[in-house]
Amino acid sequence: MFVVSIPLFTACSQTSSSAVATAKPPTAPLKLTIEAKEFSFTPAQPAVRVGQTVEILLMNSGVVVHDFTIEKIALHEEAVSKGDEHDMDTGHASDAGEEDLAVHVAAEAGHTGTVMFTPSEAGTYEIYCTVAGHRQSGMTGRLIVTAP
């Protein structure tokens, strides 16, 4: 009986460890730093993949408030942002309110903000600053989302 119990224990142990070995670890978000200043984003064309959670750190090295906005993009879930608030009614370059923007985070001069989101469709999406006059002054770029 002692001999029979050792192989059963070994078999259970092997099954358990192989199941753990094949489990996928959770994927950490892709962290991208975007510098905002008068009147540009650097990098201006970041690239990510469909299904990849992205965390944008908006670093404002300019002298006025700037934001990072993607008005239309398909997302797995609603974007989550942390940063400075600015008055969208007086500083907004389009008719859309903040609630109509798929991805948006603002940062005062010398500050940072973050936004996290997961794109669900491949494509090229315009990024821009919503502060009045900034988009028209060339503060735009493109987020390139590729298939996995």
The pLDDT profile of the chain, 148 residues, written as one tens digit per residue, is 444 444 444 444 444 444 444 545 568 999 999 999 999 999 999 999 999 999 999 999 999 999 999 999 999 999 999 977 655 544 444 444 666 899 999 999 999 999 999 999 999 999 999 999 999 999 999 999 999 8
Would you say residue 21 lies in a domain?
A: no
Q: What is the DSSP string of 7-49?
A: HHHHHHHHHHHHHHHHSPPPPPPEEEEEEEETTEEESSS-EEE
Residues 105/83, Cβ–Cβ less than 8 Å:
yes
Would you say residue 53 lies in a domain?
A: yes
Would you say residue 118 lies in a domain?
A: yes
User: How far is it, in rounded angstroms, from Cα 73 to Cα 132?
Assistant: 22
Would you say residue 55 lies in a domain?
A: yes
Q: What are the residue ranges of helices labelled H in 1-148?
A: 2-22, 88-91
Would you say residue 64 lies in a domain?
A: yes
Domain with residue 38: its CATH number is 2.60.40.420
Q: What residues make up the domain containing 78?
A: 30-146
pLDDT of residue 17: 43
Number of domains in the chain: 1
Would you say residue 103 lies in a domain?
A: yes
Would you say residue 18 lies in a domain?
A: no
Would you say residue 109 lies in a domain?
A: yes
